[in-house]
Amino acid sequence: MRLDALAARLGCALRGDGAVEVTRVAGLEQAGPGEITFLANPRYAEKLGATRASAVIVRPEVETAQPALLTDNPYLAFARALEVLHPQPKPAPGVHPAACVDPSATLGEGVHVGAYAVIGAGCSVGPCSVIHPHVVLYPGVTVGADCMLHSGAQVREGCRLGDRVVLQNNAVIGADGFGFARDAQGRYNKIPQVGIVVLEDDVEVGALTAIDRAALAETRIGRGTKLDNLVQIGHSVTVGEDTVMAAQVGIAGSTKVGRQVTLAGQVGVAGHLTIGDGAIATGQTGVSSSVEAGAVVSGTPVQKSREWRRSSLLFARLPELFARLKAVEKKLGG
């Protein structure tokens, strides 16, 4: 594709020779002739001079030897360039003969259903959604339009997925929440989990991630929220819009996570808490009390990140501290 055509597709300004041909997207260091690269993080600006790419995507103020596409958000333009130059093949519409679709299920136009997929009674799948092989929809599941459900994803009875939802492989939506009532003998009796899970539009759920159904009402993941792999969402949790959780995060039951929250890898959040809008927790934080909107937190038990970092530096100096205290005590004739 000519660079000027790509500029038009991405809505970027063009600087330099628009007749250059670019056919692939590549990283700054890996790119070669015929490829376009990007500079999103100013930290890597020094690598820009050495790239062998035929063109680059940069902010307008960045100078380049190559022809360039100019935008205030090079990372977003990079994402769109990938869509244009590396279109992902989409399985053709149709139901594989070795799929098992209940006669009472309804499939929208252009739906693809792969081999050995199971679509239960009363399910509904919106137009142009892709149900890969080995996906199981229990009875009464609704899936919106333009969804992509990868192989091995399991969606339990009655759960509802909005439009453009993506489930990566082996994700589990709507398994029973972890609820048991202890009897006089100390035995755990299962509490039937009769609620559902609702995934709003544009939610993406990572591979091997579990979102449990509510005991009574619903577990809900807000529009545009993205969950990485191996994440655990307990029953009756609600998550706001445009929140991200990195891999192996766990949220215990009934906690409310706000909008535009960022939880880094392996963060754990206890049950019945509130995480305010825009809050950020760094990796492995153990959130045992509610977090205010906009707060940046770390540590177990959780603290403001700035304070946690300060204390952590001093933690490493504890041997020195004890030695100094001992010296003081000695001076005092202790």
Structure tokens at 167: 């489930």
Q: Contact region for a second copy (CB under 8 A) — 15-23, 63-71, 132-140, 289-297?
A: 132-140
Map the footprint of a second copy across residues 250-309, applying CB under 8 A. Answer: 250, 252, 260, 265-266, 268, 270, 283-284, 286, 288, 300-301, 303, 307, 309
Q: What is the per-residue binding string for a second copy in 226-245, x denoting contact by CB under 8 A?
A: x-xxx-x-x-------x-x-
> Which of 172, 257, 275, 291 is in the footprint of a second copy by CB under 8 A?
172
Residue 327 tokens, joined: 């010296």
Identify residues 32-71 at the interface with a second copy (CB under 8 A).
Answer: none
26 near a second copy (CB under 8 A)? yes
For a second copy, the binding residue among 55, 70, 125, 246 (CB under 8 A) is 246
Place of tokens 């091997």: 208
Encoded amino acid at 212, one letter? D
Residue 61: Cβ-neighbour burial (10 angstroms; 0-12, 13-18, 19+): exposed
Q: Cα separation of 251 and 267, whole Å?
A: 8
78-117 residues in contact with a second copy (CB under 8 A) are 78-80, 82-83, 86, 88-89, 96, 98, 100, 114-116
Looking at the Cβ atoms of 19 and 42, the one nearer to a second copy is 42
Nearer to a second copy, 18 or 157 (CB): 157
Are residues 119 and 137 in contact, defined by beta-carbon separation less than 8 angstroms?
A: yes
Shortest separation between residue 5's beta carbon and a second copy, angstroms: 19
Q: Which stretch binds a second copy (CB under 8 A): 52-60, 61-69, 103-111, 163-171?
A: 163-171
Supply 233's token pair: 């969402």
Which position among 106, 170, 274, 290 is part of the footprint of a second copy (CB under 8 A)?
170
Counting residues that bind a second copy (by CB under 8 A) gives 111
Judge contact between 125 and 111, C-beta under 8 A. yes
Question: In the annotation, is 112 catalytic?
Answer: no
Pick out residues in 197-226 that bind a second copy (CB under 8 A): 202, 204, 206-208, 210, 212, 215-217, 224, 226
Cβ neighbors of 58 (< 8 A, separation 6 or more) are 38, 39, 48, 64, 68, 69, 70, 71, 74
Closer to a second copy at the Cβ: 100 or 293? Answer: 100
Q: Residues 86, 112, 235, 272: which is the catalytic one?
A: 235
DSSP per-residue letters across 3-68: HHHHHHHHT-EEES-TT-B--EE--TTT--TTEEEE--SGGGGGGGGG---SEEEE-TT---SS-E
Element (H, E) at 74: helix 74-85
Catalytic residues: 235
